[in-house]
Chains A and B, each alone.
Chain A
Amino acid sequence: MRAGGDASAHEDALLSRVYQQIAEVREPHFAAGYDLRTGVDTYQAWLGEHTEAAASVTPAAEGGQTSTADVTMPLRAVVTQPGEWNAELAVIELYSLQYKSLVRLAAVLVRDTSTAEEVVQDAFIAMHDGWHRLKDVEKALAYLRQAVVNKSRSVLRHRMVVEKNAPKPAPDMPSAEHGAMALLERSAVIAALRDLPERQREAIVLRYYADLSEADIAAAMRISRGAVKSHTARAMASLKAALEQDA
C-alpha cells in the first residue's frame, strides 16, 4: 500500500470539490459568450449531410391504383385482402405486429439494441420501397426477415473494419436497454452463441429464437434446406460441447 493513502483520499475529495466549484463558477460565464445560433447551424449542416433523403419514403407509383378509401379500412382487413393494400398500410400493419420480434432477432445478431432498431427500420424502409413486388403478408414478412439478416451481416462486417482502427469510442451512460442487453449477455448460451461461425449463429437464432421453419430459414438466409439442416446441426453440436465444458 502507498504511504499516506488516506491523506491523498482526503485531498482527492477536496480537489473534487475544487474542480466542481471552479466549473460551477466559470461555466455560466463561458456559456454566456457562446454563439448558440452558429453552433446549431453548424450542427444542422452536418445533420443534413447525414440524413436519409426524404425522397426514399415517397409512395411507390402503383399506389395510385389504390383508392384512398382503403385508409379507413380496419388494418386487419387490409392484410386479408392482399390485392388492395398499399405500402403505407403494409408498413403500419407489419410494424405494429412484427417490429418487436424483428428487433429481438436483429439484437441477437448485432448484439446491441440501438443498432438492431436501426437495422429493422432500414428493413421496413426497403420493404416500403419494394412493396409492389410483394404480393402477400407471408412474402412481406419473409422479405423483412431477409432484409434484417442481410443488414445485420453488413453491420457486423462494417463493425469489424471500424473496430480494427477506430479510436476508443466514448462510453454510453447505462440505459434501460443496456441493462436488458447486459442481462442477455450474461447468459452462457449467448456467450456460446457468440463464438459460433456467423452462418451457424444465424441458423440457430432463426430456428430457436425467431421460431422459423426450415423452409423460412432457407429463404431468409438464401441457402438450401439441406444447408440449413447442416448449419443447425453443427451449431447445436458446438453449443452442446461449449455448455458442457462450462458446467
Chain B
Amino acid sequence: MVGDDHKITPHDAAELAACFEAHGRRLFGFACVLARGDRALADDLVQATFKAAAQVWQTLRGMAEDQLRGWLRSTLANIAASGFRREAAFGDRLPQLEERYRDTTADPCEQAFSPIALERCWRIITEMPKGQHVVAVLRWQLGMKEAEIAAALGIAESAVSAQLHQARRKLIEQLGPDHPFACDGPEGESS
C-alpha cells in the first residue's frame, strides 16, 4: 500500500495508532457485516484500511470524527469490493451464517423492519454469489449509482443492472407483504 520511499513520521504513527484504538473495533464490526461473518477477512480489511489511512493521514487528521468514520467505512468497503473481486481464495472462505446473533439488542424504535424479516434478508445476503453481494453492498449499503458501481468494479453497467435485479428480487421476496412500506405503493407506477 505504502511506497518504499513513503515514511511515516513518529508523530503521525502515534496519532494513527490512537485512531486505530478509537475506531478499530466498530470498523471491524462493519467489516464483518460486509464480509458476511468472515472474521479473518474482516481483520485483513481493517488492517488494510488503516494502512491506506497512513498514506493520506495529512488529509485525514484534520477531519471531524464523523467525517473520519465515513472515510474509514467507505475506504474499507472499496477495499472489500476490489478484494472480493480479485481474491480467488475468497470462494473457499464462504462465511458461515451467524445463527447465534438472534438476541439482538437494538433499540426497538429504530426497528422499522421486523427482526425476522431482517434475519431472512441476512440469510439471503450470506448465501448470495459474491459478485451479487459486492454489487448489492455498493448499491444499498453505500448508496452508489449503477454507473458508479460499474466504473468502480470495471464491469459493464448492464452486468451491474442484472446482478442488482436478481438480488433485489430475492430480498424483496423475503421482506414479504408485512414490510412497513407495503401499503404506500410507489408513486407513478404505471406499467
* Chain A contacts to B: CB under 8 angstroms: 2-4, 6-12, 14-34, 36, 39-40, 42-44, 46-48, 50-52, 54, 113-114, 117-118, 121, 154, 158, 162, 167-173, 175-178
Contact = CB atoms under 8 A, between A and B. Distances in A.
A43 B2 CA distance: 13
A29 B29 contact: yes
B155 interface: no
A19 B144 CA distance: 13
B148 to A, nearest CB: 10
B118 A52 contact: no
A18 B171 contact: yes
A33 B121 CA distance: 22
Interface string B31-61: 1110001010011001100111010111110
B140 A19 contact: yes
B29 to A, nearest CB: 3
The SS class assigned to the B binding surface is: helix
B59 A18 contact: no
A27 B51 contact: no
Contacts of A25: 101, 104, 106, 115, 118
B163 interface: no
Interface of B: 2-3, 5-10, 13, 16-17, 20-21, 24-26, 28-33, 37, 39, 42-43, 46-47, 50-52, 54, 56-60, 62-63, 67, 70-71, 74-75, 78-79, 82, 86, 98, 101, 104-106, 110-113, 115, 118, 121-122, 125, 136-137, 139-141, 143, 152, 154, 161, 165, 168, 171-172, 175, 179, 181, 185-191
Given A7-B191, A22-B121, A175-B63, A31 B186 contact: no
Contacts of B39: 30, 33
A26 B71 contact: no
B123 to A, nearest CB: 11
B7 A50 contact: yes
A113 B185 CA distance: 49
Contact of B62 (A17, A26, A39, A176): A176
A39 B37 CA distance: 17
A172 B59 contact: yes
Nearest to A34: B28
Contacts of B143: 16
Nearest to A178: B59
A30 B42 contact: yes
A6 B189 CA distance: 6
Given A16-B143, A30-B42, A176-B62, A24 B168 contact: no
Contacts of A32: 29
A36 B21 contact: yes
Nearest to B50: A43
Contacts of B191: 3-4, 7
Contacts of A168: 78, 82, 152, 154
B94 to A, nearest CB: 17
B139 A50 contact: no
Given A19-B137, A52-B7, A30 B67 contact: no
